[in-house]
Structure 1
């Protein structure tokens, strides 16, 4: 979705977008069933008044002990104090 947004709204060159899509397709994904994240995600959503959808991604990053990159500045600001592995996309290198 972010590649689409960058191309449509911010002028990302179509060739660069295609390259990003091709690289993305090389990533091997592990599927995590939502029920394993439900309780933690719901607690996060309620405590920080964030959407359950966004909180699922955060709960997954905590479970996997990995960085969580987001373009959502409001979400980032709401939780960054308690979740130091969150990275704002604008600051990601």
Structure 2
């Protein structure tokens, strides 16, 4: 069994067709079998915000967005509280000029020693600078 931290840039591609959607589907479906995927508690809200943006600006049907929310809630994700990670997240954010939301994923990876899967280049660079192991999404093709 493998354990990974996945960020919203990966999670949302399970629902919204983008560059790595095929890989995101394989990755997330693996959590139904043997892998464990960890996200911070706010990742669900971030993902739903992406659905909202797609309804408002990209023509996604409201019913489809609602179905996505239900499916998101049923995914076998390990949702972590972030309160213990906030101090380290701030340090990472300040040192890397990175938003705290993105820094939390790095702090989670450092705290757990699990690889981070992201398609956000700035976040990936900051993670590497902080000694986090990255798992390329293309490994799930």
TM-score, normalised with respect to structure 1: 0.61
Matched, 1:32 2:109: no
**How many residue pairs end up in the alignment?**
83
Give the conservation status (yes or no) of the 8 Å contact 2:98–2:123: no
Q: Select the residue among 122, 128, 135 that pairs with 1:78.
A: 122
Matched, 1:50 2:98: yes
Relative to structure 1, is the Cα distance of residues 14 and 38 closer, same or farther in structure 2, using a 3 angstrom cutoff? closer
Relative to structure 1, is the Cα distance of residues 85 and 40 closer, same or farther in structure 2, using a 3 angstrom cutoff? farther
Please list every run of 5 or more consecutive structure 2 residues that lacks an aligned counterpart in the other structure.
Answer: 1-48
Give the conservation status (yes or no) of the 8 Å contact 1:80–1:86: no
Give the conservation status (yes or no) of the 8 Å contact 1:44–1:50: yes
Q: Select the residue among 22, 30, 41 that pairs with 2:89.
A: 41
Q: Which has the higher strand share?
A: 2
Please list every run of 5 or more consecutive structure 1 residues that lacks an aligned counterpart in the other structure.
Answer: 71-75, 88-92
Aligned to 1:11: 59
Deviations 1:25-73 (Å, cap 9, x if unpaired)?
2246534241x21343123112211122331233224434254446xxx
C-alpha RMSD of matched pairs (Å):
3.0
- Paired with 1:45 and 1:11, the residues of 2 have a C-alpha distance of 34
Q: 4+ residue runs of structure 1 moved beyond 4 angstroms?
A: none
User: Which structure ranks higher in relative contact order (CA pairs < 8 Å, sequence separation ≥ 6)?
Assistant: 2
